[in-house]
C-alpha cells in the first residue's frame, strides 16, 4: 500500500434506493466533501435533461477525515414507466467519467425506470463474504444486463444480514483496519472495557482471531438448574465464530464500504499481516489461525472480483433493505435475558449501538428518509463532529437509536410492500428470562394489521420466515425447553404464543388481503409454501417464499436429514399438525424442479418472484450463484 494513496472520489455507491413519481433517493459515500455538485436526470429516449438539483445542499454525514455519507433525496414530479438515466457531477467530475464500469453495454448513463408496480422482485438475504459459495448477486447483475429496461425487476429487496458483523474473516478485518487508516475514520473511547479506546483495540495482541476473549460476559442465572449450580459466566456475544467480531463504529462502517464497492480494494494489501510474519501486537498468530487466514484470503479475493457487478446492479435497480441479526450480532434481542445483559454492560451496549449507527447510515436512511427527523440528524452531526475523548454525543446517539421505533416502512406500489422490523420491537417473555421473545410485540403487530386493511393484495417482508420448516422449529423449541435458546437461535414466529396467535389472527381477519406473499431469508436455504385456512371456504391465499442466502448455505448433510424428517411427519394431512400453533392452517410445500425429493434447496441464490395482476405468484424461482434457475411450480393440491 502506497504511503500517499490517491483515494477514489466515490468510495461506495451510488445505490439507487427509493424511487417514486414524487421522490428519488440515491446513497453514496465520497472521500471529499461536496463543494459543488449536481444531480442530473435525463429522459433517455431523447437524452433530454428533465431535472437537476444541487448536491451540496443534500443531507450528508462526515464520519472521517476522508469519508462523507450522502443520502440524497430529490422531490419533484418524475415520469413513471419510461426510460430514465442519471448522472452525478461532484466537484466538477462526472459519475460516468469516474466510474465507466458502472454502465451496461450501450449505456451513456445508468438507466432505470420508476415503476408503480411490484410484480417482479429480486429478493434474498445473508451475504457472507468469506463463505465458499458463489455470490448470487453477480448472476442477478448479469441477468439484468441482458434484459430490456421494461423487463427488469421493479426492485431488489435485501431482507437481512447484508453484513456479518459477528463472523468476520481475518483478512477482511485487516482490510477494514486499512480502510480505517486510509479514511481517517472516527476513533472512540470505551468505558468498563478491557481496552481504553479504538487505537488500543487495533494494536491489541488479541485483535485477530481472539476477540472473543475481549468481549464481555454476564452471570447467567436464568437456567432452571442455576438455583443449585454455582454461578456461571456466559458470553453476551455467543456466536460460534465471533473471534473477529466488529466492535468500533469505524469497523462497522468500513465493512459496508468493502462489501458493496470495489473502489477501496485497489488500495488494500491483503498480504500486510503475512508480510509482517503474521505478527500483531508483538504476538504471532497461531498456526491454525494462519492456515485459516490463507483459506479465507482465497474466498475474499473471489468475493472482491465480483464487486463491480454488485455495485452496477444496485446502481440500476431500486434497492430496499432491512436488518436481521448478523447486521448487529447473532443473538440480538433473542431473549429478554440477553437484552438485559447487553444493555447493562456499557461495552456491549456500545458495540450494539455502533452497529445501529452504521445500519442507519448505510441501510435504514435510504429506505425512507422522511422517517428520520431533525432530532436524529442533529444528534448524528454532534456525534460526527465530537472529539473521540468525549463520549457524551456518541452515547446520546446510541440512546436515541435504541428507542427508535420507525425502522419498518412500506413501499406504496401495487401490491403494497410492507417491510417489518422483527428485531427491535420484540414481544418479551414474562415467564422466563431465557425464553425466546416474539419477533414483534402486540402494538407492532396491530400497526402491521392496519397497513393490510382493505388491501386486496400485499407483499410482506419478514426477515425470518413466518411459516418455516416445522421440524427445525421443533428442534428449536426443544432447545428452549432445555434452557438453551441461544444454542441454535430458537427464533421463529411460532416460538412465542402471544406473537404467534396474534399473527395467525391477522391472516384470518376478513378485512385483510385476499393474497398474501411473504418474502423471507435468514435460514440459509430456499423453499416455497402455499398456505390455506383449514376451516374456511373463502380462505385467503398465503404464500411463504424464502430465499437465503445470497452468499451462504446450510450445513450438509444436516439439512437433508431435516428435510426428509419434515416431509415424513408434517405433511398437510399429518395429525401432528393439530399439536402445533399452525393447526388452523394447511401448508402445501412446493417441490423445486430439481432431481430427487428434497423441498429445501441448499444453494446460494437470489430469489425471483413474478406476480399476476391479482398478486398471485406466476413464477417462483431462485437464480443460483452458479447461474442456474430453479423453479417452484405450484402443487396440484393447492391449485
Residue 196 carries which DSSP code? S
Within a domain: 627:
yes
**Structural domain total, the chain:** 2
Domain containing residue 449? 120-160+407-631
CATH number, domain of 41, equals 2.60.40.10
Within a domain: 335:
no
- Domain identity same for 457 and 429: yes
Q: What's the rounded mean pLDDT across residues 624-637?
A: 91
Neighbours of 468 (CB within 10 A): 22
Q: What is the pLDDT of residue 1?
A: 41
Q: Per mean pLDDT, which range of 241-245, 356-360, 570-574 is the poorest?
A: 570-574
Could you tell me if 462 and 448 are in contact, meaning their C-beta atoms sit under 8 angstroms apart? no
User: What is the per-residue pLDDT across 409-433, written as a single tens digit (0 to 9) for each?
Assistant: 999 999 999 999 999 999 887 767 7
CATH number, domain of 500, equals 3.60.21
Percent of the chain residues past pLDDT 90, beyond the cut = 70
Q: What's the rounded mean pLDDT across residues 563-592?
A: 78
pLDDT above 50 (res 550)? yes
Per the omega criterion (within 30 degrees of 0), is the bond before 557 cis? yes
Within a domain: 331:
no
Residue 575 carries which DSSP code? G
Residue 260 carries which DSSP code? H
Q: What is the pLDDT of residue 637?
A: 66
Q: What is the pLDDT of residue 405?
A: 94
- Domain identity same for 458 and 591: yes
Domain final position from 49, 79, 114: 114
Confidence of residue 631 (pLDDT cuts 50, 70, 90): very high
pLDDT above 90 (res 361)? yes
- Domain identity same for 460 and 533: yes
Within a domain: 448:
yes
- Domain identity same for 103 and 128: no
DSSP β-bridge partners for residue 75: 23
- Domain identity same for 508 and 586: yes
Q: What is the pLDDT of residue 491?
A: 64
Within a domain: 186:
no
pLDDT above 80 (res 452)? yes
Distance CA 521, CA 61 (A): 31
- Domain identity same for 67 and 146: no
Q: What is the pLDDT of residue 454?
A: 86
- Domain identity same for 79 and 134: no
- Domain identity same for 145 and 38: no
pLDDT above 70 (res 487)? no
pLDDT above 60 (res 486)? no
Confidence of residue 4 (pLDDT cuts 50, 70, 90): very low
- The top-scoring range by mean pLDDT among 238-247, 396-405, 553-562 is 396-405
- Domain identity same for 587 and 509: yes
Within a domain: 247:
no
Concatenating the DSSP letter of every residue in 309-350 gives HHHHHHHHS-EEE---GGGT-TTTTSBHHHHHHHHHSHHHHH
309 burial level (CB within 10 Å; 0-12, 13-18, 19+): buried
Within a domain: 622:
yes
Q: What is the pLDDT of residue 567?
A: 82
User: What is the per-residue pLDDT across 40-78, written as a single tens digit (0 to 9) for each?
Assistant: 999 987 889 999 999 988 999 999 999 999 999 999 999
pLDDT above 60 (res 155)? yes
How does the average pLDDT of the chain come out, rounded?
A: 90
- Domain identity same for 477 and 585: yes
Q: What's the rounded mean pLDDT across residues 504-525?
A: 89
- Domain identity same for 445 and 569: yes
Residue 55 C-alpha from the chain's centroid = 27
Per the omega criterion (within 30 degrees of 0), is the bond before 47 cis? no
State the pTM of this model. Answer: 0.94
Distance CA 96, CA 273 (A): 36
Alpha helices per DSSP H over 453-593? 470-481, 497-508, 558-569
Report, in angstroms and rounded to the nearest whole number, the Rg of the chain calculated over CA atoms.
24
Q: Per mean pLDDT, which range of 134-138, 360-364, 556-560 is the poorest?
A: 556-560
Percent of the chain residues past pLDDT 70, beyond the cut = 92
- Domain identity same for 460 and 601: yes
Could you tell me if 182 and 247 are in contact, meaning their C-beta atoms sit under 8 angstroms apart? no
- The top-scoring range by mean pLDDT among 211-220, 441-450, 474-483, 535-544 is 441-450
Amino acid at each position: 500500500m502506497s504511503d500517499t494513496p490517491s483515494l477514489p472520489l466515490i468510495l461506495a455507491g451510488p445505490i439507487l434506493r427509493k424511487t417514486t413519481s414524487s421522490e428519488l433517493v440515491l446513497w453514496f459515500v465520497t472521500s471529499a466533501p461536496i463543494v459543488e455538485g449536481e444531480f442530473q436526470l435525463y429522459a433517455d429516449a431523447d437524452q433530454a435533461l428533465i431535472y437537476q438539483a444541487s448536491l451540496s445542499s443534500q443531507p450528508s454525514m462526515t464520519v472521517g477525515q476522508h469519508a462523507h455519507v450522502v443520502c440524497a433525496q430529490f422531490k419533484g414530479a418524475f415520469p413513471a414507466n419510461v426510460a430514465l438515466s442519471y448522472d452525478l457531477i461532484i466537484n466538477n467530475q462526472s459519475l460516468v467519467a469516474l466510474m465507466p464500469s458502472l454502465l451496461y453495454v450501450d449505456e451513456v448513463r445508468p438507466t432505470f425506470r420508476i415503476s408503480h408496480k411490484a410484480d417482479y422482485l429480486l429478493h434474498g438475504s445473508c451475504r457472507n463474504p468469506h463463505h465458499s459459495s458463489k455470490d448470487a448477486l453477480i448472476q442477478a447483475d448479469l441477468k439484468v444486463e441482458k434484459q430490456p429496461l421494461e423487463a427488469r425487476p421493479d426492485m431488489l429487496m435485501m431482507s437481512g444480514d447484508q453484513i456479518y458483523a459477528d463472523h468476520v474473516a481475518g483478512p477482511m478485518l485487516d482490510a477494514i483496519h486499512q480502510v480505517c487508516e486510509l479514511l481517517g475514520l472516527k476513533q472512540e473511547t470505551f468505558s468498563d472495557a478491557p481496552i481504553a479506546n479504538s487505537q488500543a483495540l487495533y494494536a491489541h495482541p488479541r485483535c485477530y482471531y481472539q476477540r472473543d476473549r475481549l468481549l464481555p460476559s454476564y452471570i447467567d442465572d436464568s437456567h432452571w438448574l442455576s438455583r443449585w449450580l454455582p454461578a456461571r459466566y456466559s458470553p453476551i456475544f455467543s456466536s460460534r465464530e465471533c473471534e473477529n467480531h466488529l466492535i468500533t463504529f469505524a469497523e462497522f462502517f468500513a465493512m459496508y464500504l468493502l462489501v458493496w464497492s470495489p473502489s477501496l480494494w485497489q488500495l488494500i494489501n491483503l498480504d500486510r499481516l503475512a508480510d509482517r510474519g503474521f505478527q500483531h501486537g508483538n504476538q504471532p498468530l497461531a498456526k491454525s489461525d494462519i492456515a485459516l487466514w490463507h483459506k479465507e484470503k482465497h474466498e475474499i479475493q473471489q468475493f472482491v472480483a465480483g464487486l463491480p457487478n454488485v455495485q452496477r446492479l444496485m446502481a440500476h435497480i431500486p434497492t430496499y433493505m432491512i436488518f436481521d441479526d448478523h447486521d448487529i450480532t447473532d443473538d440480538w434481542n433473542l431473549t429478554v435475558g440477553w437484552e438485559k445483559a447487553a444493555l447493562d454492560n456499557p461495552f456491549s451496549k456500545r458495540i450494539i449501538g455502533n452497529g445501529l449507527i452504521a445500519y442507519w447510515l448505510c441501510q435504514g436512511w435510504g429506505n425512507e428518509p422522511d422517517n428520520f427527523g431533525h432530532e436524529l440528524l442533529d444528534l448524528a452531526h454532534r456525534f460526527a463532529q465530537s472529539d473521540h475523548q468525549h463520549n457524551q454525543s456518541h452515547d446520546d446517539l446510541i440512546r436515541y437509536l435504541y428507542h427508535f421505533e420507525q425502522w419498518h416502512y412500506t413501499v406504496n406500489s401495487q401490491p403494497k410492500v410492507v417491510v417489518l422490523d422483527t428485531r427491535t420491537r420484540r414481544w418479551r417473555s414474562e415467564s422466563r428470562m431465557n425464553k425466546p421473545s416474539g419477533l414483534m410485540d402486540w402494538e407492532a403487530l396491530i400497526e402491521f394489521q392496519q397497513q393490510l386493511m382493505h388491501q386486496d393484495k400485499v407483499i410482506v417482508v419478514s426477515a425470518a420466515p413466518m411459516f418455516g420448516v416445522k421440524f427445525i422449529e421443533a428442534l428449536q423449541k426443544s432447545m428452549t425447553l432445555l434452557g438453551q435458546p441461544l444454542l441454535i437461535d430458537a427464533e421463529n414466529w411460532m416460538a412465542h404464543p402471544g406473537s404467534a396467535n396474534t399473527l395467525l389472527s391477522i391472516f384470518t381477519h376478513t378485512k385483510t388481503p385476499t393474497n398474501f406473499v411473504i418474502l423471507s431469508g435468514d435460514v440459509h436455504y430456499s423453499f416455497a409454501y402455499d398456505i390455506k385456512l383449514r376451516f374456511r371456504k373463502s380462505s385467503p391465499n398465503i404464500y411463504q417464499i424464502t430465499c437465503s442466502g445470497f452468499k451462504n448455505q446450510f450445513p450438509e448433510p444436516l439439512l437433508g436429514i431435516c428435510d426428509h424428517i419434515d416431509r415424513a411427519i408434517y405433511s398437510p394431512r399429518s395429525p401432528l399438525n393439530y399439536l402445533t400453533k399452525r393447526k388452523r392452517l394447511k401448508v402445501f410445500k412446493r417441490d423445486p424442479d430439481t432431481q430427487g425429493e428434497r423441498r429445501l434447496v441448499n444453494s446460494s441464490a437470489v430469489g425471483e418472484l413474478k406476480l399476476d395482476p391479482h398478486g398471485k405468484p406466476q413464477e417462483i424461482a431462485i437464480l443460483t450463484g452458479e447461474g442456474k434457475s430453479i423453479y417452484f411450480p405450484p402443487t396440484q393440491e393447492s391449485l
